[in-house]
């Protein structure tokens, strides 16, 4: 199968290329050539810009396209208008952030998506991110009706994760000592290893599956305490965990999700705890499977260990800030 990947050199795109090659497919990349341009030396790479220069796609045909880099409907529309006669099947990587009610547990693909008043917005951070992804899905179906697969991942984790949102925990636990942990050990969590998502993406494209699928895991959420316990066991560290209630963390202005990754307070505006308790029954029925959490932790630790010592973390609590909060909690 000939597969065109829009993006393809960062995290999920990278893993998707690797999965496609492992399954014997012929891969073409289309991107600006700015991130890891020499990553896949034996893969055809077309250089262009989804907003201003799609000329490299003209006169070509592929069996499927996988879009790992679409965020706003205008850009998605441009790409699909250039590709609708050139491809048979289109996969759009969306997000579970599309849902209007992020407090609900067990959200499935039939639940309503969020909306924004100004649908031409392109500042896709914060509250606009999910609704814009939903509009991208609708745009794709409008242009290629009956040929679109919309995949809505949760928190994607593992090797080459640039966000550090999951990586923080295995690395912090491996460092040892007293670890500040949010709320309680039973806090629900869902993540999907990038390799599991990428391999399933390719199989779904092979089968020309269409429609909408949530894609996170495992099927039943695990407890955040399990992630910390497994990280300690795998790293062999002497870490101990101090679970600090959310009321105190909020009082100390600890930032959810980014400063203290995977923590969503019960009253957080715009993002609810339901995003860590989503139904993936439909995807599981169509073959989505999950490697053990231990494998993801080991792979994440190996990846993190290979990064430069001066790596600038994009998420996670700084050691001095952690010590400050722990000291204040003990003195309370």
- Segment 174-178 long-range contacts (CB within 8 Å, at least 24 positions apart): 174/231, 174/235, 174/237, 174/239, 174/301, 175/237, 175/239, 176/237, 176/238, 176/239, 177/238, 177/239, 177/240, 178/239, 178/240, 178/241, 178/242, 178/326
Q: 320 falls in which pLDDT band (50, 70, 90)?
A: very high
Q: 268 falls in which pLDDT band (50, 70, 90)?
A: confident
Q: What is the pLDDT of residues 116-162, one digit of tens each?
A: 999 999 887 778 999 999 999 999 999 999 999 999 999 999 999 99
Q: Is the pLDDT of residue 271 over 90?
A: no
Q: Is the pLDDT of residue 270 over 90?
A: no
**pLDDT score, position 299:** 97
Q: Identify the burial level of 133 via C-beta atoms within 10 angstroms of its C-beta, where 0-12 means exposed, 13-18 middle and 19 or more buried.
A: buried
Residues 227, 231: Cα–Cα separation, whole Å = 6
180-199: average pLDDT? 97
280-299: average pLDDT? 98
Q: Is the pLDDT of residue 267 over 90?
A: no
In the 3-class helix/strand/coil scheme, how is the chain assigned residue by residue? CEEEEECCCCCHHHHHHHHHHHCCCEEEEEECCCCCCCCCCCCEEEECECCCECHHHCCCCEEEEEECCCCCHHHHHHHHHHHCCCEEEEEEECCHHHECCCCCCCCCCCCCECCCCCCCCCCCCHHHHHHHHHHHHHHHHHHCCCCEEEEEECCEECCCCCCCCCCHHHHHHHHCCEEEEECCCCCEECCEEHHHHHHHHHHHHHCCCCEEEEECCCCCCEEHHHHHHHHHHHHCCCCEEEEECHHHHHHCCCCEECCEECCCCCCCCCCCHHHHCCCCHHHHHCCCCCCCHHHHHHHHHHHHHCCCCCCCCCCCCCHHHHHHHHHHHHHC
Residues 162, 67: Cα–Cα separation, whole Å = 18
**pLDDT score, position 265:** 94
**pLDDT score, position 126:** 72
**pLDDT score, position 269:** 75
Give pTM, 2 decimals: 0.96
Tell me how far CA of residue 177 lies from CA of 85, 294, 313, in angstroms.
Answer: 58, 21, 20
**pLDDT score, position 62:** 98
78-98: average pLDDT? 97
Domain boundaries defined on the chain: 2-157+192-215, 168-190+221-275+292-331
**What is the share, in percent, of the chain residues with pLDDT greater than 90?**
94
**pLDDT score, position 127:** 83
Q: 14 falls in which pLDDT band (50, 70, 90)?
A: very high
Give me the CATH topology for the region 2-157+192-215. Answer: Rossmann fold (3.40.50)
Among 166-180, 181-195, 255-269, the minimum mean pLDDT is found in 255-269
Among 36-40, 74-78, 93-97, 123-127, the minimum mean pLDDT is found in 123-127
Q: Is the pLDDT of residue 286 over 90?
A: yes
Which residue, 21, 45, 25, is CA-closest to 35? 45
Q: 251 falls in which pLDDT band (50, 70, 90)?
A: very high
User: Is residue 153 a contact partner of residue 216, using CB atoms and an 8 Å limit?
Assistant: yes
Pairing mode of beta strands 44-47, 62-67: unpaired
**pLDDT score, position 307:** 96
Mean pLDDT of the chain: 96
Q: What is the pLDDT of residues 60-81, one digit of tens each?
A: 999 999 999 999 999 999 999 9
Token pair of 284, please?
A: 């599981």
**pLDDT score, position 327:** 98
Q: 332 falls in which pLDDT band (50, 70, 90)?
A: confident
Residues 245, 149: Cα–Cα separation, whole Å = 40
Tell me how far CA of residue 161 lies from CA of 30, 40, 246, in angstroms.
Answer: 21, 18, 27
Q: Is the pLDDT of residue 101 over 80?
A: yes
234-257: average pLDDT? 97
User: Is residue 241 a contact partner of residue 279, using CB atoms and an 8 Å limit?
Assistant: no
């Amino acid at each position: 199968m000939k597969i065109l990947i829009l993006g393809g050199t960062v995290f999920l795109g990278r893993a998707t290329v690797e999965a496609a090659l492992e399954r014997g497919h012929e891969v073409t990349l289309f991107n600006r050539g700015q991130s890891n341009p020499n990553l896949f030396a034996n893969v055809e790479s077309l250089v262009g810009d989804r907003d201003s220069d799609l000329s490299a796609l003209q006169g070509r045909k592929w069996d499927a396209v996988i879009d790992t880099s679409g965020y706003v409907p205008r850009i998605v529309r441009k790409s699909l208008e250039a590709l609708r006669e050139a491809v048979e099947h289109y996969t759009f990587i969306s997000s579970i952030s599309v849902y209007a009610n992020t407090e609900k547990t067990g959200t499935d693909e039939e639940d309503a998506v969020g909306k924004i008043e100004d649908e031409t917005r392109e500042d896709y951070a914060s509250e606009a991110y999910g609704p814009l992804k939903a509009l991208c899905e609708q745009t794709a179906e409008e242009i290629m009706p009956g040929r679109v697969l919309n995949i809505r991942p949760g928190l994607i984790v593992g090797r080459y994760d640039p966000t550090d949102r999951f990586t923080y925990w295995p690395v912090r636990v491996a460092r040892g000592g007293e670890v500040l942990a949010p709320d309680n050990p039973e806090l629900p969590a869902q993540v999907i290893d990038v390799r599991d998502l990428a391999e399933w993406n390719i199989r779904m494209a092979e089968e020309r599956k269409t429609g909408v699928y949530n894609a996170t895991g495992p099927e039943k959420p695990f407890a955040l305490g399990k992630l910390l316990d497994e990280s300690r066991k795998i790293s062999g560290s002497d870490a101990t965990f101090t679970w600090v209630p959310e009321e105190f963390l909020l009082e100390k202005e600890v930032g959810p999700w980014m400063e203290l990754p995977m923590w969503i307070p019960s009253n957080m505006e715009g993002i609810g705890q339901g995003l860590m308790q989503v139904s993936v029954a439909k995807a599981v029925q169509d073959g989505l499977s999950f490697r053990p959490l231990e494998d993801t932790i080991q792979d994440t630790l190996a990846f993190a260990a290979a990064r430069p010592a001066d790596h600038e973390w994009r998420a996670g609590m700084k050691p001095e800030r952690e010590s400050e909060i722990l000291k204040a909690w003990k003195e309370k």
